[in-house]
Structure 1
């Protein structure tokens, strides 16, 4: 079921047990724009059924926030103009060469190109896999792009991100809403979950320059400004305390600087920044 944020903005909530991210819909007077395609054909079809039940203009554009499989594998279903940044397009080009039969999928899992969960979802939720190929993007931008849906402007920007190098966010100025995709999350490298410490403050700066009251993240409930400000505050304080590969030293540094012990969120972030120090050491 779609959630309605305003008269022109809807979203389909994430479903973690199926690795389904939040999908967005922005409606103008002439056209509608979808944010992220879903993790499978079935996910996309379910979203489109919800859209069809609304009295909204036709979907003309589809924006992919980044080239992680759970955000784009449903892209063929929309019949829309597909928009990506140039780095996302480069990464999608590799997927366009993939085959999706059982033997190929197993080979990709064995070589760590895709995760086992990704393989299972592809098997269960993409039909006609032997002939399945991802379509090509129609609009490829470098840094930013503005789309007018008819009285409703969407600003697309490729930003710095602690999650992936190809993150695009979508800002709707008159609604003060920003779709962040997964940009504000960490990532996993060599089995270590980490936030890219060097990109944390540049990312926050890129996002906070937009005057937003509501933030939609790829795998979270909708957040208001106070919730996002707290998230940034905890991330920054955790990062500031972490200057080495020692978790013990980082926790002690946090206590000295804040006159208290780290809470559960901050401990999680500190551990992630320690992992980033380990990866870069």
Structure 2
């Protein structure tokens, strides 16, 4: 079931148990635009089935927020122009070489080209996968792109991110709504979960220049300005105290700076920034 954010913005909520991120639908007077295409052909079909229940203009565009499998593997199901930034384009094109039979999938998992969850999702939710070949995106932009759907402008921008190097966000000015994809999350490298510390403040700056009141994230669904500000504050306060690979020193510095122990979120973030230092030192 689609959630209605306004008369022109809808979203299909994330399903963490199935590794399905939030998918968005923006409707103008003439056309509609979709944000992310889902983690499989079945995810995309489920989304399209829900859209059919609405009286909205035809879907003309699909924007992929970044080149992680759960956000683009449903791409082939949409009879629309697929838009990506140039870095996402290069990464998705790597997937065009993949085969999706069991032997190939198992080999990709073994060589760390694909997660086990990705393999299981493909096996479950992608019929005819033995002959499946991923399409290529249609429009590639470098930094920013504006799309007019008919009295409804969407601004696409490639931003710095703690999650990936190819993150695109989508801002709808008249609604003050922004789709962040996964850009505000951390990532895993060499089995260590971390936030890219050098990208944190530039990312926040890139996002906060937009006058947004509602934020849709890939795996949280929706947050208001107050919730996002709390998130930014906890992240930045954690980042400020991490200056080395020592968790103990970071926690001690946090206590000195804040006159209290870190809460559970802050402790999680501190550990993630420490992991980033460990990764950078390897």
TM-score interval, smaller chain = over 0.9
- Equivalence for 1:35: 35
Partner SS state of residue 17, structure 1: helix
2:93 paired with 1:104: no
- Equivalence for 1:220: 220
Normalised to the residue count of structure 2, the TM-score between the two structures is 0.99
- Equivalence for 1:264: 264
How much has 1:183 moved relative to structure 2? 0.2
How much has 1:130 moved relative to structure 2? 1.5
2:202 paired with 1:199: no
- Equivalence for 2:47: 47
RMSD of aligned residue pairs (Cα, Å)? 0.4
- Equivalence for 2:169: 169
Counterpart-to-counterpart distance in 1, 2:117 and 2:172: 33
How much has 1:131 moved relative to structure 2? 1.2
Instruction: Please give the per-residue CA displacement for 1:76-126, whole angstroms capped at 9, x wherever unaligned.
Output: 001110000000000001000100011110110110000011001101100
- Equivalence for 1:73: 73
Q: Unmatched 5+ residue regions in structure 1?
A: none
- 1:1-281 aligned at under 5 Å gives the runs 1-281=1-281
Instruction: Please give the per-residue CA displacement for 1:231-251, whole angstroms capped at 9, x wherever unaligned.
Output: 000000000011010111100
Counterpart-to-counterpart distance in 1, 2:213 and 2:116: 37
How much has 1:221 moved relative to structure 2? 3.0
Counterpart-to-counterpart distance in 2, 1:129 and 1:208: 41
Counterpart-to-counterpart distance in 2, 1:233 and 1:54: 38
Q: Unmatched 5+ residue regions in structure 2?
A: none
How much has 1:68 moved relative to structure 2? 0.2
Counterpart-to-counterpart distance in 1, 2:259 and 2:266: 14
Partner SS state of residue 67, structure 1: coil
Counterpart-to-counterpart distance in 2, 1:173 and 1:221: 19
Instruction: Please give the per-residue CA displacement for 1:199-234, whole angstroms capped at 9, x wherever unaligned.
Output: 000000000000000000000030000000000000
Q: Which runs of 4+ in 1 moved over 4 A?
A: none
